[in-house]
Structure 1
Amino acid sequence: MFERIAELAIRRARLILVVAVVAVALMGALGAGAFGKLLGGGYDDPASPSSRAGKVIDEKFGGEPNLVLLVRATEGDVDAAAARRGGRALTADLKKEENLANVISYWDTASPDLRSEDGRQAMVLAHVQGDDVERDENTKSVIDAYTGSYEGALTVKSGGGATVNAEMGTQSGKDLVLAEAIAVPLTLVLLLLVFGSLVAALLPLAIGLFAIAGTFAELFVLGSVTDVSVFAVNLTTALGLGLGIDYALLMVSRFREQLAAGSSVEDAVRRTVSTAGRTVAFSAATVAAALAALLVFPQYFLRSFGYAGVGVVAIAAISTLFVMPALFVVLGHRVNSGRLPWAGRGRTAVRAPLWGRLAGAVMRRPALTALPVLAVLLLAASPLLGITFGTPDERVLPGDAQSRQVSAVLREQFNGSDDAALHVVIDAPPGRAPLTTYAADLSGLEGVVRVESSAGTYADGRSAAADPGDKALGRPDAQQINVVHSLAPKSEAAQSLVEKVRTVAPPAGAQALVGGVDAELVDSKNSIGSRLPLAVALVAVTTFLLLFLFTGSIVQPVRALLLNMISLGATLGVMTWIFQDGNLSSLLGFTAQPMEVSMTVLMFCIAFGLSMDYEVFVTSRIKELHDQGADNESAVTNGLGHTGRIVTAAACLLAVSFFAFGTAELSFMQMFGLGSGLAILIDAVAVRGVLVPAAMRLLGHSAWYAPGFLRRFHGRFGLSEGGPAPVAEPEVLAESRG
């Protein structure tokens, strides 16, 4: 297959490049519309009890409160004449908004629960209607129209879940622009340092552009037929730029190496495609397999990263395999053009001496060198013993975000809020007596402030005096019951309350569904936790099969899986130490909170896939030398000598793309960027530099073991090195970076 690709590039190079340019233009035009198709949110399982409760409330009760307008009196308290007039006018205006439902105001109800303890502030609750895209737009419209000074008597701020999602979407776009403004110039500088010539440095950027444009077009198409998260854009740019550079770097390095070894341009292309091209194909397959595991989760936030990840990997690999050889044919020796002043014309060794010496030292004393590295990685993983999980809320936003400020006031100044209440939906019309008993039982649970129902309001297991109940909570075919509590949202106590509410027996013949932010968190954790073993199994099995087909050994895949799990554990442990335990919070500017469950799963899949990327890079050259007759020690030492510089450069370049997101204002994007970048560096240095040669030395010849029937299977179906015989490599390169 790779020989045919090389021959196609040699015969039709200019045609391939013309088609590529047209394809980029078309994909860019199509992908420009992707941003209008992508959604915020997507953290919940649509089949969970909390999501089903939310749908019933939307359909039959006008929706749960997801917008909180915190209104402060400019002078005096909220019952002063001017504040009262302004509050009533504000409420009337909000009720006229066709995209708002269930507008509940202190000035309409005089409920003390909607008034702050100091009397200076009051709440207006509402439900913003529409799907995720429409809801964000409607929320922004309300914020623009009503926040700030209102009629001179009031100051209005916006909070609640709808505002949080809208602000996260806006902040995500700002973070993306800043990250790319940092990553792209820095990447170009690093490429110039690595290659020492302008032409060679620009080739990887061309592949990255192709991958990003193609994936944006894919997201446009998918966003037109299914739900896709706006955060998929962040992964597309980081991974597209990084992997495009990784794959192109491997190809350019091998092509220049073959030219320096005396090959003709055509033979250099053939050898590059049959070796580095094969590595790119298998590397892409392993990364795509890891990211495809995200598709088993029902939350479209996670599935979206699977769509984007598999797409960007596939497009980066295809463009590398077809466009890059065509560029080599057209450029020929001009690939070294544009030599930079610091790139001298002396001669330097093909192999990287440092990596070769490191591999040799490790293989002489494998236990002595590997054990300290293992100890450090296990120590780094130790914070995982205390890990807890959550979902995004206003705390992921910067401190000056309106929704954060509103949330802080609600916790400090109000006695429970309907915005954070549990919403229980009963799917049958119970009689008044069973409904009363059920509401009273719920009100007796620890932490519950009151229970609101159509039969009345209850506290401490009994009815509040002279409260006839809210008739809007009753329908002929359903009942809504609001359980207002004083517990911190998404705390362990609040999650425990969800379980307690679900254990209270509903009226006979009825089913109770529990919704609200705390119920959504409980259900998200259960949903992801129940599917995580399947996702991990799919990653492990597909990776094992691909590495077996790549190496012909059953030991190499097991070795790779074990070492990758160790490096992943270290990465996740450090992220837990930072983002959950709060270390470095003052430096990075975030609020410590439980690890975001979806982002942790995403980081696991991405870091695992990228670890396998470098696994394939290194193992490919080791196997190539082993197949040429080198003994195990020589194959490992020389293989790392040849690939060490490439892996280091590729890791640094890819890490830059992710580390750029460390500048994000959204804390879970900070965690994603810093964690992914750290995982790449740990893998490239500690695992590839020390643990791989140590393991290969300890395993000896058994590193390449496979039972007879599997050797025969690999001989028939495995993808082995092909193409022309390698040109003998000189000890030095004619082209040098100095």
Structure 2
Amino acid sequence: MSSVLYSLGRWAVRARRLVVVGWLLVLVVVGAAAGLLYQGFDNSVTIPGTESQEALDSLAGTFPQVSGASAQIIVVAPEGATIEDDGVRGPVEDAVEEIADLEQVSAVASPWDEVGGASVSDDERSTLLTVQLDGDQSVITTETKDALAATTDDLTAALPAGAQASLGGQLFSTEFPHFSLVEVVGLVVALVVLLITLGSFVAAGLPLINAFLGVGIAMLVLLSTTALGAINSTTPMLGAMLGLAVGIDYALFIVSRHRDQLRDGLGVEESIARATATAGSAVIFAGLTVMIALVGLGVAGIPFLTVMGVAAAATVGLSVLVSLTLLPSLLAYGGERLRPRPRRERKAEERTAGRRKGRRQAPATGAHENRFFAGWVGAATRYPLLTIVVIVGAIAALSWPATGLRLALPDAGSLAEENPARVTYDLVAEEFGEGFNGPLIVTGSIVTSNDPLQLMDDLKTEIEDLPGVADVPLATPNETADTGIIQVVPTGGPDSEETKALVEEIRGLHDHFYETYGVDLSVTGFTAVGIDVSDKLGEALLPFAFVVVGLSLVLLTMVFRSIWVPVKASLGYLLSVGAAFGTVALVFENGVFAEALNVTRLGPVISFMPIILMGILFGLAMDYEVFLVSRIREDYVHGGDARHAIRTGFLSSAKVVTAAAVIMFAVFVAFVPQGDMTLKPIALGLAVGVAVDAFVVRMTLVPAVLALLGDRAWHMPRWLDRALPTFDVEGEGLTKELRLADWPEPGARDAVVARDLEVAGPGGPGRGVPVVGPVSVRVPEGGTLCVHGDAAAPVTALLLALAGRMAPDAGAVKVTGLVLPERAMSVRGRVAVVDGVAEGGRPAPAVDAALRDGASVVVVDRTEAVADRPEREALVGALARARAAGVAVLLGASGVDATDLLPGTSGVAVLDVGGGWGAPTTLTGADVPPPVEASPEHATDDLIDEDTHVQEVRA
């Protein structure tokens, strides 16, 4: 991957004008599409498979008058008056008639209706007009809402002085979140941090441009997709918040690496390409983890949450794509202006000591020295066990309030106090009781009843006697007498534990009602749907946590080739999540700093906050883990001193990780003061989670744990190391390729070249099985190598390693100019492998087929299986055709010499692996220079005939 990104970065530099214009055209096109296709957002919530949703869907066909959205108008008479007074009754009746004539209004209750009249308070001073609409919340037009508001305003004007009329209810229970100037503060903080970190206005502006373009395109695409399906109004705000944060951070990582390389004297184009390959690899890893976790929100099985996760994941993916294409082009335009001024105290040799022939070594002393961060890592690792105990204890204490965290869907009670719907909500609670803000609907088929009216009365009587029931204002069959509904007003509010207990109580009596009355009753309504959503999300939280933690274990094991590092990282992630949840509970449940953060009402937080926060924070935590620990691991691999590697790796990456975390925190926390109550707890949880994860867990706890473990932190069983694929997030593969670019010498065109190659046998080294090698060999284009030995397994292992089918365990290898194992996939496309046994002793046709497919190298193994004389002659002919076409040939045989398949000996190298696994082979006579400037471990004699390129290689 790093090689592909290296090529991509170089192309983006050379085609920078095309890239910039291309992205601007994309912005224009999606902007035009958004203007044509935008259909508005839909805040309705559906949850397939639950009792409340199935009952609501059934009512849409049998009792449509009560299945759609609803609104409420509360009228309060002046002090000392009642609604029966002419000054109140007349305007109310006029308003009811006017509302009934509105489009999309199916019914409106009046307090003076003989059947199903509007609710009236005990002192007859207030009435609650319920407006039933035709269709759910998503289809109610703005014109209908405006007409209801205008009628309410007219009613207020017609009422006597001291009277009130206020519009609210389910239809107005949520408001569209919007951007404000407060969010801009987060971007200003991000700009300041970038200036401090990068030290240049040009360099600091590039990450912001990168993030703005990515988020802008993503939001316009999101607006366009409203034509395809329902999208919640919180989705674009969540996507924008996350897109800005990751877009700035991902660009920061690449720009920071680019400037480090410029400081070391690298050319602009080469530096951009390498930064795209190295930091870009880590960006792809980080972006993928965030996207996987966000798409994993679909585990809950709730459509609007799945859409939210997919939209946010798409925004992150677009941010990654922009960072890998547009940003290199912008860096190219920056050119030499981005090169930092060299420090006077840094000598020329110190500037190049960290990179020798493209290979990054452990930082030289003082290369990244910073007193503040040096003191930080020193304090964290001086007494590691004490550091671990203190941090775990403190985070556990902060996490404890999360045990009381309650979840619910937001309603009008969460809106700002001056919002008309919130005013209505508070008035209803004051005049009638909190339960009138969230009535329940109990419904079922009554088609088998001989007396529907009596049946509904009986059911009403039983439900009225249940604890937690404040009133049952309506119990009636529909016009065809096949479905009945009972409106139940609980004593508690929509998000209270009392209301949830009442729903469970009624559902618990299902069998009783069925046996007694023959009615299959279900509980539904906006409040019941909210309860079911919260319950289903709560049930999905644990499986989602297992998926996320399991994913982090696998991914980090792939990256760091260690057991303890992934375990530590996953446990640290859980600590960060616990701290985020605990802080949200302290603020929104217990009221700590609630007024300062503009919390409009204490109580449950939005039910999908935990699962969204876990998904996003997982990806961000992996960011910091990768960028910090990968540098520590790299220094440990190069230096071998675990404790010193912690210090040097920390100092190399702490500044960038700190800047990234501060930017993330600033962007997230900016959405808290003026954010709506849907987004506010998510933003606060992410801000706290990022701060705790970056500064406490990754930059303090992680060094302490690594110091405590020492060398054991980097241990990994050999069998697991071979079983897991490698994910190169630091571009080590590219560094190796650049180091070997001119090896064995500039302009070399060898088919195969290997130096000190070792290949492990079954089980690998350390499990009692020796290796083949070290092998040093060189086969020119069109040349031939014959490998034979007493046993077949070591011959096959060596040939598969040279064919890119098996990873070598040590040494340097290039096949057709490509480095192994880094370019194994490309090598497999150029090298054909033919097995004499698998071909039934007839490998010649397979060799000819490989030639037709354009193979550059053909490997023919187990040629001893070709026993028949005609088949051997056919193979000799096929090999001759391959050699004549300039194709290199590698032959393998056990117990016999395969050179008889090659008439003549010109251009043939012979390798005898002898007794197999028990007799490792050190070759002589291989003229292969070392890939690095170091003394070769094995002395060699030059036995190459310059004219014929014949090597006589003996074990």
Matches within 5 A, 1:359-378: 359-378=377-396
Q: How far is 1:555 from its partner?
A: 2.6
Judged with a 3 Å threshold, the aligned counterparts in structure 2 of structure 1 residues 572 and 415 are, in CA distance, closer, same or farther, namely closer
Give the SS at the match of 1:609: helix
Counterpart of 1:4?
4
Judged with a 3 Å threshold, the aligned counterparts in structure 2 of structure 1 residues 485 and 17 are, in CA distance, closer, same or farther, namely closer
Q: 1:559 aligns with which of 568, 581, 587?
A: 568
8 A contact 1:205–1:245 mirrored in 2: yes
Matched, 1:120 2:125: yes
Whichever structure has more helix as a proportion of its residues is 1
Judged with a 3 Å threshold, the aligned counterparts in structure 2 of structure 1 residues 247 and 404 are, in CA distance, closer, same or farther, namely same
Counterpart of 1:47?
49
Q: How far is 1:139 from its partner?
A: 5.5
Q: 2:586 aligns with which of 567, 572, 577?
A: 577
Q: Provide the C-alpha distance between the structure 1 equivalents of 2:633 and 2:372, rounded to a whole number of angstroms.
A: 21
Range 67-76 or range 285-294, more displaced: 67-76
Q: Provide the C-alpha distance between the structure 2 equivalents of 1:417 and 1:489, rounded to a whole number of angstroms.
A: 7
Q: How far is 1:32 from its partner?
A: 5.5
Q: 2:209 aligns with which of 181, 203, 206?
A: 206
Amino acid at match of 1:270: A
**1:671-692: CA deviation from partner (whole Å, max 9, x where unpaired):** 2222211111111111122101
Q: Provide the C-alpha distance between the structure 1 equivalents of 2:514 and 2:473, rounded to a whole number of angstroms.
A: 16
Matched, 1:673 2:676: no
Q: Provide the C-alpha distance between the structure 1 equivalents of 2:532 and 2:726, rounded to a whole number of angstroms.
A: 47
8 A contact 2:212–2:244 mirrored in 1: yes
Counterpart of 1:642?
652
Q: Provide the C-alpha distance between the structure 2 equivalents of 1:440 and 1:674, rounded to a whole number of angstroms.
A: 46
Q: 1:152 aligns with which of 158, 166, 170?
A: 158
Counterpart of 1:733?
none
8 A contact 1:295–1:302 mirrored in 2: yes
Amino acid at match of 2:467: E
Q: How far is 1:190 from its partner?
A: 3.0
Counterpart of 1:481?
486
Amino acid at match of 1:80: D
Matches within 5 A, 1:617-632: 617-632=627-642
Counterpart of 2:595?
586
Q: 1:95 aligns with which of 91, 100, 108?
A: 100
Q: 2:672 aligns with which of 662, 672, 695?
A: 662
Range 634-643 or range 149-158, more displaced: 149-158
Counterpart of 1:461?
none
Q: Provide the C-alpha distance between the structure 1 equivalents of 2:389 and 2:726, rounded to a whole number of angstroms.
A: 39
Q: 1:20 aligns with which of 15, 18, 23?
A: 23
Judged with a 3 Å threshold, the aligned counterparts in structure 2 of structure 1 residues 188 and 656 are, in CA distance, closer, same or farther, namely same
8 A contact 1:424–1:483 mirrored in 2: yes
Q: Unpaired segments of 5 or more residues in structure 2?
A: 347-365, 740-955
Q: How far is 1:275 from its partner?
A: 1.9
Q: How far is 1:397 from its partner?
A: 0.8
Counterpart of 2:472?
451
Q: How far is 1:427 from its partner?
A: 2.5
Q: Percent identity?
A: 28
Q: How far is 1:308 from its partner?
A: 2.4
Q: Provide the C-alpha distance between the structure 2 equivalents of 1:244 and 1:537, rounded to a whole number of angstroms.
A: 28
Q: Provide the C-alpha distance between the structure 2 equivalents of 1:667 and 1:717, rounded to a whole number of angstroms.
A: 40
* TM-score, normalisation: structure 2: 0.69
Q: 1:400 aligns with which of 418, 426, 444?
A: 418
8 A contact 1:422–1:482 mirrored in 2: yes
Judged with a 3 Å threshold, the aligned counterparts in structure 2 of structure 1 residues 203 and 589 are, in CA distance, closer, same or farther, namely closer
Amino acid at match of 1:54: L
Q: How far is 1:630 from its partner?
A: 4.0
Q: Provide the C-alpha distance between the structure 2 equivalents of 1:552 and 1:239, rounded to a whole number of angstroms.
A: 30
Matched, 1:612 2:641: no
Amino acid at match of 1:153: L
Judged with a 3 Å threshold, the aligned counterparts in structure 2 of structure 1 residues 487 and 712 are, in CA distance, closer, same or farther, namely closer
8 A contact 1:607–1:679 mirrored in 2: yes
Counterpart of 1:355?
373
* TM-score, normalisation: structure 1: 0.88
Q: Pick the structure with greater CA Rg.
A: 2
Q: Provide the C-alpha distance between the structure 1 equivalents of 2:100 and 2:726, rounded to a whole number of angstroms.
A: 72
Q: Provide the C-alpha distance between the structure 1 equivalents of 2:251 and 2:19, rounded to a whole number of angstroms.
A: 17
Amino acid at match of 1:189: V
Give the SS at the match of 1:723: helix
Counterpart of 1:710?
720
Amino acid at match of 1:243: V
Judged with a 3 Å threshold, the aligned counterparts in structure 2 of structure 1 residues 126 and 383 are, in CA distance, closer, same or farther, namely same
Counterpart of 1:503?
508
**1:291-331: CA deviation from partner (whole Å, max 9, x where unpaired):** 22212223344223312221121111122122222333343
Amino acid at match of 1:47: G
8 A contact 1:438–1:507 mirrored in 2: no
Matches within 5 A, 1:106-185: 106-109=111-114, 114-135=119-140, 137=142, 140-150=145-155, 152-153=158-159, 155-165=164-174, 168-169=175-176, 172-173=177-178, 176-185=179-188
8 A contact 2:44–2:138 mirrored in 1: no
Counterpart of 1:264?
267
RMSD: 2.9
Amino acid at match of 1:447: G
8 A contact 2:413–2:426 mirrored in 1: no
Q: How far is 1:242 from its partner?
A: 1.1
Q: Provide the C-alpha distance between the structure 2 equivalents of 1:72 and 1:366, rounded to a whole number of angstroms.
A: 66
Range 438-447 or range 147-156, more displaced: 147-156
Give the SS at the match of 2:89: helix
Give the SS at the match of 1:661: coil
Judged with a 3 Å threshold, the aligned counterparts in structure 2 of structure 1 residues 7 and 353 are, in CA distance, closer, same or farther, namely farther
Counterpart of 2:531?
522
**1:20-52: CA deviation from partner (whole Å, max 9, x where unpaired):** 23223333444556864422243x513321122
Counterpart of 2:73?
69
Amino acid at match of 1:522: I
8 A contact 2:440–2:487 mirrored in 1: yes
Judged with a 3 Å threshold, the aligned counterparts in structure 2 of structure 1 residues 211 and 630 are, in CA distance, closer, same or farther, namely farther
8 A contact 1:228–1:300 mirrored in 2: no
Judged with a 3 Å threshold, the aligned counterparts in structure 2 of structure 1 residues 302 and 180 are, in CA distance, closer, same or farther, namely same
Give the SS at the match of 1:147: helix
Matched, 1:421 2:432: no
Counterpart of 2:351?
none
Range 650-659 or range 528-537, more displaced: 528-537
Counterpart of 1:599?
609
Q: 1:305 aligns with which of 279, 301, 308?
A: 308
Counterpart of 2:228?
225
Q: 1:58 aligns with which of 47, 57, 60?
A: 60
Matched, 1:215 2:218: yes
Amino acid at match of 2:158: G
8 A contact 2:559–2:726 mirrored in 1: no
Counterpart of 2:734?
723
Q: Provide the C-alpha distance between the structure 1 equivalents of 2:665 and 2:31, rounded to a whole number of angstroms.
A: 25
Judged with a 3 Å threshold, the aligned counterparts in structure 2 of structure 1 residues 515 and 110 are, in CA distance, closer, same or farther, namely closer
**1:450-481: CA deviation from partner (whole Å, max 9, x where unpaired):** 43565xxxxxxxxxxxxxxx45x453331112
Matches within 5 A, 1:314-329: 314-329=317-332
Give the SS at the match of 1:45: coil
8 A contact 1:294–1:302 mirrored in 2: yes
User: Higher RCO, 1 or 2 (CA under 8 Å, sep at least 6)?
Assistant: 1
Q: 2:243 aligns with which of 231, 240, 247?
A: 240
Q: How far is 1:560 from its partner?
A: 0.7
Q: How far is 1:283 from its partner?
A: 1.1
Amino acid at match of 2:257: R
Give the SS at the match of 1:514: strand
Counterpart of 2:818?
none
Give the SS at the match of 2:180: helix
8 A contact 1:199–1:336 mirrored in 2: no
**1:394-453: CA deviation from partner (whole Å, max 9, x where unpaired):** 221111122222222222222686653221111242422554443332222123244356
8 A contact 1:284–1:313 mirrored in 2: yes
